[in-house]
Amino acid sequence: MASDEIVYAIGISAHGAALLCSAAGISPPEWEDREWAEPMVRSQTLGLTKRSLEEIIAEDDILSRRPIVCSLCGGSFTVDQYDRLGRMHRDRRYETVGLVHEGCEMGE
């Protein structure tokens, strides 16, 4: 992904989650209807399986895709902004809601 691209939150079907877990050689946990940050899904998939997300699941397994937005200004996050946020707040790097741009956080 290019650094200026918008970051999306994606929802993956139970079937898609099972395929991803199988490809990674892990037992699937109980399926949760939740969203994941797409860059994190792609990174984890590649790291655990050495394969791209598209090689494992079909587009139909992605139930939803929406931009991740700042809860203060409503603007989308770019890949760079999301990566910086993840480095600053490691405990929140998998979250897709309630996130705030660096500049908004400082009142800029």
Where residue 2 falls among pLDDT bands split at 50, 70, 90?
A: low
pLDDT for res 50: 96
Per residue in 7-44, pLDDT (tens digit) is: 999 999 999 999 999 999 998 778 777 888 898 899 99
Which whole number is the average pLDDT over 43-64?
A: 95
CB contact set of 59 (below 8 Å; sequence gap of 6+): none
Which structure tokens are listed for 70? 């700042």
Higher pLDDT pick, 16 / 103: 16
- What total number of domains does the chain contain? 1
Residue 72 lies in a domain: yes
Indicate the pLDDT class of residue 93, thresholds 50, 70 and 90: low
Mark residue 35 as left, alpha or beta (left: phi above 0; alpha: psi -120 to 50; beta: remaining).
beta
Please tell me the distance from the alpha carbon of residue 99 to that of residue 108, in angstroms, as a whole number. 16
pLDDT of residue 108 exceeding 60, the answer is no
| Domain range enclosing 63 | 8-105
- Per cent of the chain over pLDDT 90 is 53
65 is a domain residue:
yes
* 3 domain residue, yes or no: no
pTM: 0.80
- Note whether residue 30 is domain-resident: yes
What 3-state class would DSSP assign to 34?
Answer: coil
Does 99 reside within a domain? yes
